[in-house]
Amino acid sequence: MVFMISLTLFLTVLTDGVLNGAVGIAFFWILLLIFDQVPLYLVDHYFANFMPLKMTDFQHYYIGNEIYRVLGNSFTNLKWVVSLTTIISFGMITSTVIFSNIKLRKGLS
């Protein structure tokens, strides 16, 4: 949920409107539902596993657990997905604050 909140804030600040951000999130969720209906290993492994729809499917972690190999280290799906999503969410929140401050300064000048 933190990822979806940070993505929503990021899109809203970038597009200068709540409606534009909502359209982006709706497109994102439709894309995720399509990925859930048509399972492709490469799409699941590199993209869909990091999205909230797959992250809340807890059977996925116990039945079909995948291994990610990064820089010679092996990580389980649960550990890698949560850590990488946390880092991406923190980066999006930080960039949202930076872009928001830049837009406020331009508006005040």
Query: What is the DSSP annotation of 26-84?
Result: HHHHHHHHHHHHS--HHHHHHTGGGSHHHHT-HHHHHHS--EEEETTEEEEHHHHHHHH
> What per-residue confidence (pLDDT) applies to 91?
93
Task: Answer yes or no: is pLDDT of 50 > 80.
Answer: no
Residue 73 Rama label (left phi>0; alpha psi -120 to 50; beta): beta
**Would you kindly state where each structural domain of the chain is located, as residue ranges?**
2-108
This prediction's pTM: 0.69
> What per-residue confidence (pLDDT) applies to 52?
66
> What per-residue confidence (pLDDT) applies to 25?
79
Highest mean pLDDT range out of 13-22, 46-55, 64-73?
13-22
> What per-residue confidence (pLDDT) applies to 8?
82
